[in-house]
Copies of this chain bind each other. A is one copy, B any other.
């Protein structure tokens, strides 16, 4: 096969991005699914996604942000490349490559028409290989939650340590020692107390509010030895 400087049709493939947008609602990890308007699988619930447009996107992450903006109406949440999925059968339109991203958001506004938040552990069959993509994303997020600051992106700022503690527990599905948790968050050094700001949640001592230090808005902080859940 001659592959010299040919960049014609044989070497050009269907290329898409898919975004697994996750949030925490009712102490459950939930994923945003969109009702597809077009074939294939018109009418089915699927991940927000779309073609990569060479004319408008600077790279695939840019395409993912565009998809999030257009289909989920979101500004720029935490976004991380997950993996690429490819093959002849995953898309009925033909051999395709999808670069998948994970995005995390804190406060899921009321979903707009056609948007559905579903718990990741109770998903129906999804079109394409979206079931597998979601499973990979959930694995990645749960795994990274064991030793990094990733879950802060599921928490609206400012937040209290007990709130963040609850988020880690919901993600990892098991109780985390509260003393160790505070020690670790302290070591990670990513949080700063909002001076004077406390959150009163009821007839008891209010909790200190914290925010992410700017250095950690786009970077994760990694714990040396995990949170040892």
Q: How far is the CA of A3 from the CA of B99 in the complex (A)?
A: 18
Kindly report how many copies of this chain are found in the complex they form together: 2
Residue of B nearest to A228 (CB): B225
Scoring A1, A88, A97, A228 by chain B CB atoms within 10 A of each residue's CB, the highest score goes to A97
What does the 1/0 interface line of A2-46 toward B look like (CB < 8 Å)? 011101011111110000000000000000000000111000000
| Distance from A60 Cβ to chain B, minimum over Cβ atoms (Å) | 4
Q: A86-B99, A225-B228, A226-B224 are in contact. Are A11 and B3 (CB under 8 A)?
A: no
User: In the complex the two chains form, is B51's CB within 8 Å of A11's CB?
Assistant: yes
What does the 1/0 interface line of A56-94 toward B look like (CB < 8 Å)? 001110000000000000000000010111111000011
Chain B residues closer than 8 Å to A58, beta-carbon distance: 87-88
Number of A residues near B (Cβ < 8 Å) is 40
A179 close to B (CB within 8 Å) = no
What does the 1/0 interface line of A191-214 toward B look like (CB < 8 Å)? 000000000000000000000000
Q: A7-B93, A12-B14 are in contact. Are A84 and B81 (CB under 8 A)?
A: yes
Chain B residues closer than 8 Å to A38, beta-carbon distance: 3-5
User: In the complex the two chains form, is B88's CB within 8 Å of A54's CB?
Assistant: yes
Residue of B nearest to A6 (CB): B51
Q: A13-B15, A52-B97 are in contact. Are A59 and B87 (CB under 8 A)?
A: yes
A182 close to B (CB within 8 Å) = no
User: In the complex the two chains form, is A60's CB within 8 Å of B226's CB?
Assistant: no
| Distance from A13 Cβ to chain B, minimum over Cβ atoms (Å) | 4
Q: How far is the CA of A50 from the CA of B6 in the complex (A)?
A: 12
Residue of B nearest to A58 (CB): B87
A interface residues with partner B (beta carbon < 8 Å): 1, 3-5, 7, 9-15, 38-40, 50-55, 58-60, 81, 83-88, 93-95, 97, 99, 224-226, 228
Give 30 CB contacts A-B under 8 Å. A3-B38, A4-B38, A5-B39, A5-B40, A9-B12, A10-B53, A10-B55, A11-B15, A11-B52, A11-B53, A12-B12, A12-B13, A12-B15, A13-B13, A13-B15, A13-B52, A15-B15, A15-B97, A52-B97, A54-B94, A58-B88, A59-B85, A60-B86, A60-B97, A83-B83, A84-B84, A84-B99, A97-B99, A225-B225, A225-B226
